[in-house]
């Protein structure tokens, strides 16, 4: 089976038939076993054929010590197929172990990824929660601050009114009752004082309105805008007794909003329009696709000032040219915005102005 | 009887005192004063010396033992890290010499135990007198001009074969086991088999032995050595025996008539004669 002729084998030590690794195993394991126990059973070794091919063999052997000498009788059974099967089984076992291990590793990786994801989600949730509560807390703090400021403004304006009235009434009494006794220069001084005190009183009133608008609740109801516009126009025209301007109101307009606040809006817009209208100019109140508008034929304004005029105390003209406190349009903006709407102006210098506003 | 000798060590994660003599299945006999310590090689245990020992019992103190992991040693004391290299086995020898308080030791090492003995003696130079090296090899692998006798592939083939004989085999051994059960006496005998070894330990011992290279130690040996070289030894070829003889500072070289790798088993008379001659010379 190993390709040796009988005479090749004669006198050849058994070990010589084995492949190199098997020679080591023979010397370290098989020979000592034979020597000590006189027999070996089913030991797996590899033999080498005459042509150098390696053949797996099972070795059974007995050792006989005869008077002529020691004979180790070894029977070699080639186990090519058995060996192949074993190799296959071992390979399959290893493969299975590797697959199992790979599966375990995959599962573990998946598990870890899932855990990481859950952890990140939770972190995110916590972050979101803390962010939300931070935003809520800051909003509440801001709202509180704004309310405090508005309350502060209101009480200052309110408290300023009483001494102002006293100043106004004393100057009026002085002018009426002691006017003749004063020198003309002193009288002019007193008149100037009365004029300035009146101005200050107007300013304080406007400030008070402005503050009140921030604090006051918006009460929504159906409002007859055309009726309200007539009312406001009448009142404004009465204040500007010298004006030749006229107001045209489009009929049948309605809106949802706070009636008293919308009155202030129309009053201020008419006041503004009439103030800047030329002699005999027309002021029109109406509505179109862009919402309500108050249109005049006055001096108009450059587009770069379109934003500025809605800010408190921002005036484009000197008091001597056009009287005013600089609060009116700021009030308009505040009311419109509290209704959820928007106010803006369309104008060019010398070509009149159209103030437009929407209500949500 | 000798008293119980103890040493401390870290085994299996526990710091415990270990009875060295029990751990290494140490057997002391003989009527002489000078200790003759016999150390078995890879694959066997102290029983392999049974043909040699009787010749020296009347003149020497005979010390036999099994390395941890071999024979009837305490397998629980096996530490894969310690026994991953020959230094671990050398530590066994040193601890036995210390435990028995041996002096003027003649160490007889077969095969890999030659190098183990050299490593142990270098650690306790005051305790050793002579080293007798039976079939020694400082390096089994060929390396350039040095012909250890084997290529790495041969040694990997050996490890594979051991796996088949020990592990892969187990499931195919069923018929043999059954056969043995029909003969309880034989089964018991096999159980007692002097070569029975834990397969994983055997594989690690094989790796520590056949993949090692202790050529650097050889010129440092401070003891007189006897190199006993077999004829036609596959495991330790003559060229290796000559190499070690040439590189040992003080050595005698005997080329034996015995063939194979285990002259103390196959040719006990010649082995005894050479040892005897060396010790009395």
pLDDT at A321 over 70: no
Query: Which chain A residues have a beta carbon less than 8 Å from that of B194?
Result: 32, 36-37
Judge: B164–A44 Cβ closer than 8 Å, yes or no.
yes
Rounded CA-CA distance B52/A200 in Å is 131
Query: Which chain B residues have a beta carbon less than 8 Å from that of A32?
Result: 43-44, 48, 194-195, 262, 265
Rounded to an integer, the average pLDDT of B96-103 is 94
pLDDT of residue A213: 74
Residue B8 confidence class, pLDDT cut points 50, 70, 90: very low
Note whether B142 contacts A: Cβ–Cβ < 8 A: no
pLDDT at B65 over 50: yes
pLDDT of residue B177: 37
pLDDT in tens, A242-286: 788 889 999 999 999 999 899 999 999 999 899 888 888 899 999
Q: What is the mean pLDDT of chain B?
A: 84
**Which pair of tokens denotes residue A225?**
């805008």
Q: Strands across the sheet with B27-29, in order?
A: B27-29, B61-64, B35-39, B105-110, B128-134, B225-231, B251-259
pLDDT at A148 over 70: yes
Query: Which chain A residues have a beta carbon less than 8 Å from that of B193?
Result: 33, 37
Collapse the DSSP code of B72 into the 3-class scheme (helix H, G, I; strand E, B; otherwise coil) and give the result. Answer: coil
Rounded CA-CA distance A122/B31 in Å is 80
pLDDT in tens, B105-159: 999 999 999 999 999 999 999 999 999 999 999 999 999 999 999 999 988 888 8
In percent, the amount of chain A with pLDDT more than 90 equals 23
Task: Compute the half-sphere exposure of residue B17: CA atoms within 13 Å on the CB side of its CA.
Answer: 5
In percent, the amount of chain B with pLDDT more than 90 equals 63
Which B residues, 153 through 172, put their C-beta within 8 Å of a C-beta on chain A?
154-158, 160-162, 164-165, 168-169, 172
Residue B6 confidence class, pLDDT cut points 50, 70, 90: very low
**ipTM for the complex shown:** 0.78
Residue B276 confidence class, pLDDT cut points 50, 70, 90: very high
Q: Is A340 exposed, middle or buried (0-12, 13-18, 19+ CB in 10 A)?
A: exposed
As beta bridge partners, residue B28 has B63
Question: Which of B164, B189, B195 faces A32 most closely, judged by CB atoms?
Answer: B195
pLDDT of residue A304: 85
Q: Give residues with Cβ within 8 angstroms of A121, minimum separation 6.
A: none
pLDDT in tens, B198-239: 777 888 899 999 999 999 999 999 999 999 999 988 899 999
**Which pair of tokens denotes residue B106?**
């003649």
């Amino acid at each position: 089976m190993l390709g040796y002729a009988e005479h090749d084998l004669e006198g050849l030590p058994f070990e010589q038939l084995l492949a190199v690794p098997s020679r080591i195993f023979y010397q370290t394991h098989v020979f000592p076993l034979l020597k000590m126990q006189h027999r070996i059973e089913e030991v797996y070794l590899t033999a080498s054929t005459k042509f150098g091919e390696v053949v797996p063999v099972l070795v059974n052997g007995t050792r006989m010590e005869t008077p002529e000498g020691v004979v180790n009788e070894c029977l070699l059974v080639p186990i090519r197929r058995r060996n192949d099967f074993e190799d296959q089984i071992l390979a399959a076992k290893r493969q299975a172990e590797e697959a199992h291990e790979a599966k375990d590793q995959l599962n573990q990786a998946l598990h870890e990824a899932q855990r990481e994801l859950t952890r990140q989600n939770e972190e995110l949730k916590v972050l979101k929660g803390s962010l939300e509560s931070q935003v809520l807390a800051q909003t509440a703090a801001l709202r509180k601050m704004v309310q405090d400021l508005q309350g502060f403004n209101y009480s200052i304006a309110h408290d300023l009114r009483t001494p102002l009235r006293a100043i106004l009434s004393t100057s009026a009494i002085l002018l009426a009752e002691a006017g003749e006794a004063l020198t003309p220069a002193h009288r002019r001084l007193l008149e100037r004082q009365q004029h300035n005190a009146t101005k200050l009183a107007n300013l304080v009133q406007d400030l008070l309105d402005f503050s009140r608008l921030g604090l006051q609740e918006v009460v929504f109801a159906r409002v007859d805008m055309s009726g309200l516009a007539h009312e406001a126009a009448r009142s404004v025209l009465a204040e500007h007794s010298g004006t030749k301007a006229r107001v045209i109101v489009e009929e049948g307009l309605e809106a949802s909003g706070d009636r008293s606040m919308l009155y202030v809006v129309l009053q201020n817009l008419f006041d503004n329009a009439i103030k800047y209208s030329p002699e005999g100019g027309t002021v029109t109140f109406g509505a179109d696709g862009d919402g309500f508008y108050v249109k005049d034929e006055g001096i108009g304004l450059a587009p770069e000032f379109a934003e500025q005029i809605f800010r408190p105390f921002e005036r484009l003209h000197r008091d001597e040219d056009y009287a005013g406190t600089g609060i009116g349009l700021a009030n308009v903006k505040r009311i419109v915005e509290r209704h959820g709407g928007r106010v803006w102006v369309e104008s060019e210098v010398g070509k009149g102005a159209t103030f437009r506003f929407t209500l949500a | 009887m000798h008293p119980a000798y103890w040493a401390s060590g870290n085994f299996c994660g526990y710091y415990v005192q270990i009875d060295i003599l029990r751990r290494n299945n140490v057997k002391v006999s003989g009527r002489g004063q000078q200790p003759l310590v016999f150390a078995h090689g890879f694959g066997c245990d102290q029983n392999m010396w049974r043909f040699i020992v009787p010749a020296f019992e009347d003149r020497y103190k005979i010390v036999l033992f099994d390395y941890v992991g071999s024979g009837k040693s305490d397998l629980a004391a096996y530490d894969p890290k310690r026994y991953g290299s020959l230094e671990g086995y050398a530590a066994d020898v040193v601890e036995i010499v210390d435990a028995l308080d041996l002096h003027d030791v003649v160490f007889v090492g077969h095969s890999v135990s030659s190098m183990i003995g050299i490593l142990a003696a270098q650690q306790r130079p005051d305790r050793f007198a002579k080293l007798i090296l039976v079939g020694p090899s400082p390096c089994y692998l060929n390396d350039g001009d040095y012909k250890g006798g084997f290529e790495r592939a041969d040694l990997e083939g050996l490890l594979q074969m051991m796996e088949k004989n020990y592990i892969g085999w187990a499931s195919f051994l069923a018929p043999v086991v059954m056969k043995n059960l029909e003969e309880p006496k034989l089964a018991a005998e096999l159980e007692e088999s002097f070569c029975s070894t834990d397969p994983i330990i055997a594989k690690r011992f094989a790796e520590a032995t056949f993949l090692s290279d202790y050529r650097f130690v050889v010129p440092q040996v401070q003891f007189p050595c006897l190199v006993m070289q077999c004829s036609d030894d596959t495991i330790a070829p003559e060229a290796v025996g000559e190499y070690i003889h040439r590189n040992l500072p003080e050595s005698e070289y005997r080329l034996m008539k015995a063939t194979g790798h285990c002259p103390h088993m196959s040719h006990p008379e010649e082995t005894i004669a050479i040892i005897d001659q060396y010790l009395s010379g």
